Structures are given as C-alpha cells and as structure tokens.
C-alpha cells in the first residue's frame, strides 16, 4: 500500500458527496484531478471501492468499510497536528457548526473576528435546512447549531445572537397592496421546502390567521425564493436578513400586512450537558463579550425595518 493523505481526503469526500463533481467543487480541485487520485487509490485494492452505473457513482460495501478506516486515519492526523499546536500554546482544533440555510447571512459575522484571532482553528460550517441541522446536533456531530426556532425534541442550551424578522415580500408593492386590501389569501405564495424553519414560521402565521392559500410554489433554498420573487412569480414571507441588497436597490418591497413582521431570535444552541471542547468554550466566551459590538457594527441597518 502506497496511498497518500491527499488520496484519503479525496476518497472520503467522494463517499460523503456521492459525486466526483461535488467532491471536486468542495475540494477546489478539477474533476480530472479528483478522478485520477480516486483511480490511483482504488488501484491499490483487489476489490472495487466504487462502481459507476450510467453517470452515477456508487460506493461498494467494501468501499464503505475502507471509508470508515480512512476517516479514523484522518482524524488521528488532525489530532497530531492539534496536539503539536496546543503544546506551543496556540488554540487549535476543529470548530463544527451546523447552520440553517438563512443563517448563512448571520453566522459569518459572528465568526470572522474569532477565526482571525485564532488562525490555527479549522472551521467546519455546514449550511442546510432546519431538520438536518437538528439531526446533526442530536447525533452530537457538531459543537453548535444556529437556528431561529428552538427544537422541541432535544434539550439544549442557548445564546441569543440577533432578532429574526420575517416580512411579506414581493417585487411589486402596488400590486400586492391591491391584493392585501381585498384578500391576503389571493396572493400567489412561494414556500420553502418542508423541513425549513422559514416554512414552519410562514405556515404558523397562515394557520393562526386562517388564511387559505389558493396558489403556491415550493422552492428548496432562500436564494431560489428570492430569485423567484425578483422574476415576479409571486410573494413570500421571508427573513429580512437575506434581502438587504434587494431592499436597498428597490428590487424587492416589504408589503405591510397585519400581524407582520413575525419576530423570532437567531440563537446559537448546543446539547444540554455536552462537554464542550476548549475551542467551543473559547468561542462562547468570545460571543458573550463581542455580540453587542457585532450587532452595532454589522447589523445597524437592520433596526430601520
């Protein structure tokens, strides 16, 4: 066996994404480079690690077993590096955070200065929908999660970071006002996918106000909803945090509706009773000291709505 650490990382990423294309994007490598390294790694085994059927790559049972061993090897390599840096008195290691999709407009501002102060820290931030975020927290796969709706199925501790405001938004204010004055239920509404916190909040508002929805479109990301609004597909109840530029450029409009905005809170949460790593403890201490300053410097525009 003569495999390299680079080959191990590439193989593990392919197993994770089930795609040469996605693996190359995540690793900032070309597809041919990833394919060559995968082939070189596979050639060291008599049993196939992967199978390609049509254009889709599948991981064999043997490949999954090898991937488990590869993950252990890489974790041990990281541990060696972290111990070396810790011995020098530097804060080092992995900080793993799972973030609901709209939270990508929030979390980076609460991370950048901490990472600059501690350049040896490796940040792993997964951006996905609320259900997957809670699952990763429940499985103890991450240190923290950023949510706007607290989970009901697990016990957590929290640190509130920023208020979350959701408004009815569209690209034609005049048209929407004509609708809302007549009947809010006649608006063509755009939904996020099931499992999204934004969708959960929107459905709660609709149910609470007994609004019947006659026409709706479901899209799988905040960006997709925003593009649909810009194209004039309809209206949606959206978090203010993700539409700053579009509002300031008058590309989207907030539509006044009784009962809106809906207000929740962006909170960093972690499992109750979890033994936090030194990095996680340091990050919480940083946030407690700096969060008000971050709000003032990065989110002052937010208070105008």
Structure tokens at 61: 């049972």
Cβ neighbour number for residue 169 with a 10 Å cutoff: 26
Span 86-107, pLDDT tens digits: 555 556 678 999 999 899 999 9
- What per-residue confidence (pLDDT) applies to 83? 61
Task: State the Cα–Cα distance between residues 112 and 29, nearest whole angstrom.
Answer: 25
Q: How confident is the model at residue 182 (pLDDT cuts 50, 70, 90)?
A: low
The token duo for 160 is 């509130």
Contact between residue 155 and residue 272 where contact means Cβ atoms under 8 Å apart: yes
Using pLDDT thresholds of 50, 70 and 90, give the confidence band for residue 113: very high
Question: What's the confidence (pLDDT) of residue 73?
Answer: 86
> Mind listing the pLDDT tens digit for each residue in 273-298?
999 888 898 899 999 999 999 999 99
Is pLDDT of 302 > 60?
Answer: yes
- The model's pTM: 0.70
User: Of 220, 171, 214, 212, nearest to 191 (Cα)?
Assistant: 220
d(CA 245, CA 189): 22
29-64: pLDDT as tens digits: 899 999 999 999 999 999 999 998 888 899 999 999
Helical spans, DSSP H, in the chain: 5-17, 20-27, 31-42, 61-87, 112-117, 130-138, 173-182, 197-208, 222-230, 244-248, 278-298
The upper half-sphere exposure of residue 25, i.e. CA atoms within 13 Å in the direction of its Cβ, equals 7
Band of pLDDT at residue 206, cut at 50, 70 and 90: confident
pLDDT in tens, 64-86: 999 998 888 887 777 676 566 55
Plot region of 178 (φ>0 → left; ψ -120 to 50 → alpha; else → beta)? alpha
Supply the pLDDT for residue 300. 92
The confidence score (pLDDT) of residue 54 equals 82
Q: What is the pLDDT of residues 128-163, one digit of tens each?
A: 888 899 999 999 999 999 999 999 889 999 999 999
In this prediction, residue 79 carries a pLDDT of 67
Q: Which domains, ranges and CATH numbers included, belong to the chain?
A: 5-85 (1.10.10.10), 90-162+265-304 (3.40.190.10), 164-263 (3.40.190.10)
Residue-wise pLDDT tens digits, 233-278? 889 999 999 999 999 999 999 988 888 899 999 999 999 999 988 8
Q: 196 burial class (0-12, 13-18, 19+ CB within 10 angstroms)?
A: buried
**Would you say 98 and 128 are in contact if contact means Cβ atoms under 8 Å apart?**
yes
């Amino acid at each position: 066996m003569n495999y390299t650490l680079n080959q191990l990382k590439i193989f593990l990423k392919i197993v994770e994404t089930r795609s040469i294309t996605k693996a190359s994007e995540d690793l900032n490598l070309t597809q041919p480079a990833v394919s060559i390294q995968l082939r070189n790694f596979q050639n060291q085994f008599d049993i196939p690690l992967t199978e390609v059927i049509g254009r889709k790559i599948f991981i064999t049972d043997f490949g999954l077993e090898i991937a488990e061993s590869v993950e252990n090897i890489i974790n041990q390599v990281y541990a060696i590096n972290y111990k070396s840096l810790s011995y020098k008195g530097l804060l080092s290691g992995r900080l793993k955070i799972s973030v609901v999709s709209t939270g990508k407009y929030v979390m980076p501002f609460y991370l950048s200065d901490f990472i600059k102060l501690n350049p040896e820290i490796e940040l792993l931030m997964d951006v996905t929908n609320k259900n997957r975020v809670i699952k990763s927290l429940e499985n103890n796969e991450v240190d923290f999660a950023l949510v706007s709706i607290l989970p009901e199925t697990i016990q957590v501790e929290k640190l509130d970071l920023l208020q979350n405001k959701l408004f009815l938004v569209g690209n034609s204010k005049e048209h929407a006002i004509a609708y809302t004055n007549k009947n809010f239920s006649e608006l063509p509404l755009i939904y996020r996918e099931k499992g999204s916190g934004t969708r959960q909040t929107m459905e709660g508002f609709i149910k609470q106000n007994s609004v019947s929805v006659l026409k709706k479109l479901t899209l799988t990301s905040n960006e997709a909803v925003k593009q649909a609004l810009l194209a004039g597909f309809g209206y949606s109840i959206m978090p203010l945090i993700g539409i700053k530029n579009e509002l300031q450029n008058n590309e989207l409009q907030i539509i006044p509706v009784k009962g809106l905005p809906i207000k929740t809170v962006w909170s960093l949460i972690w499992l109750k009773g979890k033994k936090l790593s030194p990095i996680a403890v340091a990050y919480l201490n940083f946030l407690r000291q700096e969060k008000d300053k971050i709000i003032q410097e990065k989110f002052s525009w937010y208070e105008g709505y």
